[in-house]
Amino acid sequence: MSLTAGIVGLPNVGKSTLFNAITKQKILAANYPFATIDPNVGVVTVPDKRLDFLNQLYCPKSLVPTTIEYIDIAGLVKGASLGEGLGNKFLSHIREVDAIVEVVRCFKNKDIIHVEGEVDPIRDIEIINLELMLADLEVINNRIGKIGKKAAMSKDKETIQEIGILNRLKESLEQNIPARMLKFNDEEQKLVKSFNLLTIKPIIYMTNVDEEDLLEGGNQYVEQVKEHAKKEQAKVVIVCAKIESELVDLTDEERTEFLNDLNISENGLDKLIKATYELLGLETYFTAGKDEVRAWTFKKGMKAPTCAGIIHSDFEKGFIRAEIMSYSDLKENGTELKVREAGKMRLEGKEYQMKDGDICYFRFNV
**Interatomic CA distance for residues 127 and 18, integer angstroms:** 21
Query: 124 Cβ partners below 8 Å, 6+ apart?
Result: 9, 10, 13, 104, 105, 116
- Which pLDDT score is estimated for 44? 85
Average pLDDT over residues 36-49: 74
- Which pLDDT score is estimated for 87? 45
Whether 39 shows a pLDDT value over 70: the answer reads: no
Whether 228 shows a pLDDT value over 70: the answer reads: yes
In this prediction, residue 324 has a pLDDT band, given cuts at 50, 70 and 90, of very high
Q: What is the pTM of this model?
A: 0.83
Whether 82 shows a pLDDT value over 80: the answer reads: no
DSSP β-bridge partners for residue 43: 69
Would you call 295 helix, strand, or coil by DSSP? strand
DSSP 88-157: HHHHHHHTT-SEEEEEEE----TTS--TTSS--HHHHHHHHHHHHHHHHHHHHHHHHHHHHHHHHH---H
- Which pLDDT score is estimated for 78? 57
Whether 174 shows a pLDDT value over 70: the answer reads: yes
Whether 123 shows a pLDDT value over 60: the answer reads: yes
- Which pLDDT score is estimated for 86? 42
**42 vs 182, more confident:** 182
- Residue 42 near residue 72 (C-beta atoms within 8 A): yes
| CB-neighbour burial class of residue 344 (10 A; exposed 0-12, middle 13-18, buried 19+) | middle
**Interatomic CA distance for residues 288 and 278, integer angstroms:** 25
Supply the mean pLDDT for the chain. 86
In this prediction, residue 31 has a pLDDT band, given cuts at 50, 70 and 90, of very low
Share of the chain above pLDDT 90, in %: 50
**Interatomic CA distance for residues 200 and 183, integer angstroms:** 11
**Interatomic CA distance for residues 359 and 325, integer angstroms:** 5
Average pLDDT over residues 77-105: 69
Measured from the Cβ of residue 294, the count of other Cβ atoms closer than 10 Å reads: 19
**106 vs 76, more confident:** 106
In this prediction, residue 80 has a pLDDT band, given cuts at 50, 70 and 90, of very low
What Rg, from alpha-carbon coordinates, does the chain have? 23
Angstrom distances, CA of residue 36 to CA of 16, 76, 171, 198: 7, 10, 34, 20
Whether 84 shows a pLDDT value over 60: the answer reads: no
**56 vs 34, more confident:** 56
**Interatomic CA distance for residues 210 and 246, integer angstroms:** 13
In this prediction, residue 146 has a pLDDT band, given cuts at 50, 70 and 90, of confident
Whether 75 shows a pLDDT value over 60: the answer reads: no
Average pLDDT over residues 321-346: 96
Measured from the Cβ of residue 298, the count of other Cβ atoms closer than 10 Å reads: 23
Angstrom distances, CA of residue 233 to CA of 52, 181, 218, 226, 227: 34, 8, 19, 10, 10
- Which pLDDT score is estimated for 115? 59
For residues 28-44, b (16+ Cβ closer than 10 Å) or e, as one string?
A: ebeeebebbeebbebeb
- Which pLDDT score is estimated for 76? 58
**Interatomic CA distance for residues 305 and 137, integer angstroms:** 38
